[in-house]
Amino acid sequence: MPIGSAAINPADWVPHQGAMCLLEGVEAFSETAIVCRTWSHLSPENPLRRGGRLSTVAGIEYGLQAAALHGAIVAGAPQQAGFAAALRAVSLQATRLDNPEWGALRVRAALLARDSKALIYVFQIEADSGRLVLSGRATIALP
């Protein structure tokens, strides 16, 4: 997988803006996959927090944003927002995403299939230590 450019600002490529753009950088990408990094899970201003906590379930949004970012980079232009039509094989390996001991999170997304109406991606989130935090598969419907 070629190394991505530090010059890629996820907010320039995804429809999510402000604090809702959860990804902070791209480590690497290819025609079929992307690896992103973020510290946003530790921010007290994270818009997905509830009751001062960030559930691991919120990691699904991180995976979907990585897929959206990948699609935009491969297309060479920001894309219209799609929506998660189905989630499969979601595995939560922790109860909280906001564990400060994990350091930065690495968010991976890999394209499995695409046609004019939908994309299928697998995604996973790992802590800096390599510990798997969440994984799953999403079908994304296109406008």
Q: State what percent of residues in the chain have pLDDT above 90.
A: 80
pLDDT at 4: 52
Residue 6's pLDDT band (cuts 50, 70, 90): low
For range 34-60, the mean pLDDT: 96
Domains of the chain with bracketed CATH? 10-141 (3.10.129.10)
How far, in whole angstroms, is CA 14 from its chain's centroid?
Answer: 11
For range 79-88, the mean pLDDT: 90
Query: What pLDDT, in 10s, does the model give residues 113-128?
Result: 999 899 999 999 999 9
For range 49-57, the mean pLDDT: 95
Q: 10 Å Cβ neighbour count for 8?
A: 18
Report the DSSP beta bridge partners of residue 109.
34, 123
* Listed residue (27, 24, 43, 44) closest to 35, CA to CA: 27
Report the DSSP beta bridge partners of residue 37.
25, 106
Tell me: pLDDT of 137 over 50: yes
